[in-house]
Structure 1
Amino acid sequence: MKPIQVACAIIEREGKVLATQRSKSMSLPLKWEFPGGKIHDGESLRECLRRELQEELGIEAVIGHPLSPVTYNYQVFSVTLHPFICKIISGDITLHEHAALAWLTPRELSALDWAEADVPVIASYREFIKTRQR
């Protein structure tokens, strides 16, 4: 099973991180995730993430530091997440596909019911924060 390639954004603002909740009609309904989406043919990871953030949230963002990709095998599909640390540069968030959003500190992220593929991304992000603060 070839993994679906997905770029996702860890959007930081004032010490908090954006989490988005999948809608009831999406696969993995009502699970929380970092926003992003599938990479189209011929599209770079950063181009994909810019497009997805515009389509899903109506925002423009600086696509910053990449974290290590994570591959997760669900029962019916496999996904590789390519996370990037991001900052909003324009636009107000409007949920076009998601049910809800939350701004949480890195420590609070674990309180949500995350899509399983996103859980190792949280751990990787926390490690990145530790090295950034040194």
Structure 2
Amino acid sequence: MGPAHPPRPLLARPGLPPPGSRDDTRATPTDQLADLLGGARQEPVRVPHDCLDGFGAAYWRRPDAYLAPQVRAGISMLAQTGEDTLAPGLTRLADDLTTGRWDTRYAELLTLDTLDVGYRLLVSDL
């Protein structure tokens, strides 16, 4: 299940597709799914900083991973967008990483072990 609200710090950058923009047209809203499950409760799924799964927000504290084509190929919102569309945002991300702007802008993220990026686990007793 995708995020209930999109991860903002890394991927909501000019030139990159808004997180969840493709999923918004294909996914059932989390609240609706919870209702369909008889009032399931939603529990946050915090993503660890060293997550290896490779989904959209897995690299929230390691943004350089998003620069690798093989990583982007495994993240549907990036793989389905196309390199030409992503190129300006990826260039800015690379520049921000090289100059240290990313570390300055997101310094608080570097102190966290996990982050709530909006993913939710639906738990039902049905």
Q: TM-score range by the shorter chain?
A: under 0.3
Larger Rg: 2
Q: Which has the larger helix fraction?
A: 2
Query: Normalising by the residue count of structure 2, what TM-score does the alignment of the two structures yield?
Result: 0.26
Q: Greater RCO between the two (CA within 8 Å, min separation 6)?
A: 2
The structure richer in strand per residue is 1
Q: Structure 1 length normalisation: TM-score?
A: 0.25
